[in-house]
């Protein structure tokens, strides 16, 4: 059973939700997800099916192969994808948003024309390399260095946690062009991930096994100067320009998966009988389910609000941080409640709950940790 109240969605948005759930139900059935989570196989077929249906380009203009949709449309789509499975939502976001939005928002016309239509068609995938061993939350302290030589830049350094780099054709690499410049020394490059000098080493992580993270080593990697995104040393502003949309995506994923966990726990509670009745009749279980519903609905409200603010060109840094915090924490707290509701079954690998629990834990850590989001909010409140 699906817990869903579609009030406020347009007919098109309802169609987006129904159509993507139907598609993923066919190409990525639940039994398959469970197997892929064990083997760590990338959901290539489902990814291509999303691209073939046009969903990679939902928010991009038709001239680049997109659909010209709104950010609210995108929030509805990302929520539905993550309702089906967080791993395919992550794979989707990495190329469709982390990759494509950098090129769309900050790239020049030649870069847009060269890369966006191919991303939309699913022909190429991107991964985003910001984090490094010594620079996580403190992005301005990255050490990867890019030095201009003629018509190229030569890049040396190491990236960490680069999601989906193992399947990427291209990387967005954030590097220092002025090592002493702090934020003002950062530039962003498109890099061919298949060339010599790029080494991708998969990491062993707690969750999100099908869209896993990687170490990326860059040794004398050459990239054309024409593939620099934006101006030299202006990369910080480019990064900031994409943050709202990236975090909107994370909030939508947290929301969608919170509803999935709720529905899964609710179904189980109605079927599991103890003391002669379904455990869903016990008030302590009912209260957990009610709290899960509140958390998921709250996350959805804040997420849709950010989408609408972006659609109306309204400033929304504070709202985006709130949505990212609330949705990612809702996702993990729902999974934690869900595991308690399933009891021992939740702790076994026979049920999906342990995967939900592992997959949800990264939300408050990645994409600017929730501590950093709270710092942003405190700064905006002039604390």
Mind telling me the catalytic residues?
Answer: 246
Q: Considering only residues 137, 141, 195, 348, which one is a binding residue for ligand FAD as defined by CB under 6 A?
A: 137
When asked if residue 183 is in the footprint of ligand FAD (CB under 6 A), the reply is no
When asked if residue 163 is in the footprint of ligand FAD (CB under 6 A), the reply is yes
Q: How far is CA 160 from CA 154, 296, 302, 364, in A?
A: 19, 31, 30, 18
Say which DSSP state 90 is in. H
Min separation Cβ 77 and ligand FAD, Å:
20
Q: Which residue has the tokens 């929520």?
A: 79
When asked if residue 213 is in the footprint of ligand FAD (CB under 6 A), the reply is yes
Q: How far is CA 74 from CA 105, 125, 208, 311, 362, in A?
A: 16, 19, 21, 11, 22
- For residue 379, count CB atoms less than 10 angstroms from its CB and return exposed for 0-12, middle for 13-18, buried for 19 or more: exposed
Min separation Cβ 209 and ligand FAD, Å:
10
| Closer by beta carbon to ligand FAD, 19 or else 156 | 156
When asked if residue 333 is in the footprint of ligand FAD (CB under 6 A), the reply is no
Can you say how many angstroms the Cα of residue 2 is from the centroid of all Cα atoms in its chain? Answer: 23
Q: Considering only residues 130, 172, 175, 360, which one is a binding residue for ligand FAD as defined by CB under 6 A?
A: 130
Q: Residue 208 is inside which H or E element, if any?
A: none
Q: Considering only residues 65, 183, 369, 377, which one is a binding residue for ligand FAD as defined by CB under 6 A?
A: 369
163 φ/ψ angles, rounded to the nearest 5 degrees: -65, 130
Q: Considering only residues 229, 310, 362, 376, which one is a binding residue for ligand FAD as defined by CB under 6 A?
A: 362
When asked if residue 140 is in the footprint of ligand FAD (CB under 6 A), the reply is no
Min separation Cβ 343 and ligand FAD, Å:
28
Q: Which residue is nearest to ligand FAD (CB)?
A: 136
Continuous H helices in the chain:
11-27, 30-39, 44-52, 71-84, 86-93, 100-106, 109-120, 235-271, 283-311, 317-342, 344-347, 353-360, 370-380
Min separation Cβ 372 and ligand FAD, Å:
6
Positions in the binding site for ligand FAD (CB under 6 A): 128-131, 136-137, 161-163, 205, 208, 213, 362, 365-369, 371-372, 375
């Amino acid at each position: 059973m699906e817990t869903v109240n579609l009030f406020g969605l347009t007919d098109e948005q309802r169609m987006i939700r129904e159509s993507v759930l139907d598609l993923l139900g066919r190409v990525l059935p639940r039994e398959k997800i469970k197997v892929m989570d064990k083997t760590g196989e990338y959901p290539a077929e489902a990814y291509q099916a999303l691209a073939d249906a046009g969903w990679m380009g939902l928010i991009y203009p038709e001239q680049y192969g997109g659909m010209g949709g709104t950010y609210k449309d995108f929030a509805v789509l990302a929520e539905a994808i993550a309702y089906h499975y967080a791993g395919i939502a992550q794979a989707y976001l990495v190329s469709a948003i982390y990759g494509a939005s950098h090129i769309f928002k900050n790239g020049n016309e030649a870069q847009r024309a060269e890369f966006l239509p191919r991303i939309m068609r699913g022909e190429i995938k991107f991964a985003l390399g910001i984090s490094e061993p010594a620079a996580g939350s403190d992005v301005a302290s990255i050490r990867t260095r890019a030095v201009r030589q003629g018509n190229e830049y030569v890049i040396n350094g190491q990236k960490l946690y680069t999601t989906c780099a193992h399947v990427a054709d291209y990387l967005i690499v954030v590097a220092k062009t002025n090592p002493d410049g702090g934020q003002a020394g950062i530039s962003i490059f498109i890099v061919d991930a298949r060339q010599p000098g790029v080494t991708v080493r998969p990491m062993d992580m707690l969750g999100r096994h099908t869209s896993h993270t990687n170490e990326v080593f860059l040794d004398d990697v050459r990239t054309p100067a024409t593939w620099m995104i934006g101006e030299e040393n202006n990369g910080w502003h480019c990064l900031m320009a994409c943050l709202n949309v990236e975090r909107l995506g994370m909030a939508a994923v947290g929301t969608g998966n919170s509803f999935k966990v709720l529905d899964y726990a609710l179904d189980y509670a109605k079927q599991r009988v103890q003391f002669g009745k379904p455990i869903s009749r016990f008030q302590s279980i009912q209260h957990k389910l009610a709290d899960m519903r509140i958390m998921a609905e709250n996350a959805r409200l804040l997420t849709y609000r950010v989408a609408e603010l972006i659609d109306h060109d309204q400033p929304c840094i504070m709202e985006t941080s709130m949505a990212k915090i609330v949705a990612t924490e809702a996702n993990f707290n729902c999974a934690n409640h869900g595991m308690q509701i399933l009891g021992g079954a939740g702790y076994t690998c026979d049920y999906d709950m342990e995967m939900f629990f592992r997959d949800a834990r990264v939300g408050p850590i990645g994409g600017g940790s929730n501590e950093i989001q709270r710092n942003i909010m405190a700064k905006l409140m002039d604390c």
